Amino acid sequence: MAAPLAAEAPPAWRAVDAATGQIADVAGLEQLARDFPDSASVRLRLFNAQLQAGEGEGALASLRWLAARGHVFSERARAQIPDLIGPAHAEAARAMLAGAPQVIAASTVFGTLPAEAGLIESVIVVPGEEGALASSVSRRTLFALGPNSEWIEVPVPRAQALSGLASAPDGSLGWVASANIDGAAPDPAGFTGLIGLTGDMGDLLMIPAPEGVAVSDLAVGPDGSVYASDPVGGGVYRRVPGKTALEALVPPGTFRSPQGLAVSADGARLYVSDFRYGLAAVELGSGAVRRLASDVPAALDGVDGLWLHRGELVAVQNGTSPMRICAFRLSDDGTRIVGHRILEQAHPDWTEPLGGSIADGVLYYVATGQWDRYDKGALREGMKPLPTVIRRLPLGAR
């Protein structure tokens, strides 16, 4: 959930949203929508402001924009919007208000972690499905898939909440992010940064993050550089092979809430999901940040997990309505979105899809996220943990 960038304005991503991101007037939100023309979150804010201001024609244009990108309103909103938009535009609005979202269920179950594993954030699967590793935010531990499809707890010394998982290109080294991302009571002995999994839990590679940085999502480039996003501080960090600490690639405050990361095949560019505003591209040589524009009608915000596969950015969009998993085809130069397909949407067995990994042309992902059941590292009052289902989604040909 970041801040704005005009399409050609380097390198400031925060063009309009300044300090708080709380723009309420129509004119300010119209400018924000120009800066982020592919964000459904921004367009919804503009739509609500237009309704409140009695600007029926503008509200109808925003509704048309949302409908073209598959946005589905709640049943209550669908009943209210025609009255709110005014009699001159009520029938046109009613025609654009889709009913229940189309269900696209293309995945199968890969495995299920027991409820005792707690809040699972991500999973990484070994090619050939010869093993898997999942990270637990609440248990502050890893779970490995063992014989007979049993998940075995793997304690990680000094771990805080464990979230993002990634591996070196040759699979020789795994990485997990450790940080207090869930607001639990601080652990003075806890480690914040990247933990390199060498295969020996007594000989981990500890790469500390800068003071005040909480790393979460991870990606690894073709040269072995590891990239980490800080969804709270708004920066992106990099660990170059051989270095003993993370360094700032994109300064804190540049984005509002950077989450999923993906590195281009040539290692020249890092794609970043800024949750409420859309996708950005960071030129790794210069550090310049630019908005990734779309040539086709597509909502590029609400992206949690992000991966690059055969020229497409595969995105778990749990911040859109409906929730979905999409593949955004990149232009040959990697600077624009030129195609869009929905791989899975509104799956009846989802709670909230989260992180995962791609192996052998298949996306493995957490399908039953439980962030709504936890607060500050513990279960909310009256809540019980649920088993966590990992699903496998073949990506197919673009």
Q: What HEC string does 181-243 produce?
A: CCCCCCCCCCECEEEEECCCCCCCEEEECCCCCCCCCEEECCCCCEEEECCCCCCEEEECCCC
What pLDDT is stored for residue 398 in this prediction? 63
Q: Which two tokens stand for residue 43?
A: 């367009």
Residues of the chain with pLDDT under 50: 1-12, 15-16, 18-20
What pLDDT is stored for residue 22 in this prediction? 67
What pLDDT is stored for residue 242 in this prediction? 94
What pLDDT is stored for residue 171 in this prediction? 82
- What is the radius of gyration, based on Cα positions, of the chain? 21
Contact 164, 355 (CB under 8 A): yes
What pLDDT is stored for residue 100 in this prediction? 87
What pLDDT is stored for residue 13 in this prediction? 52
pTM: 0.94
DSSP character at residue 169: T
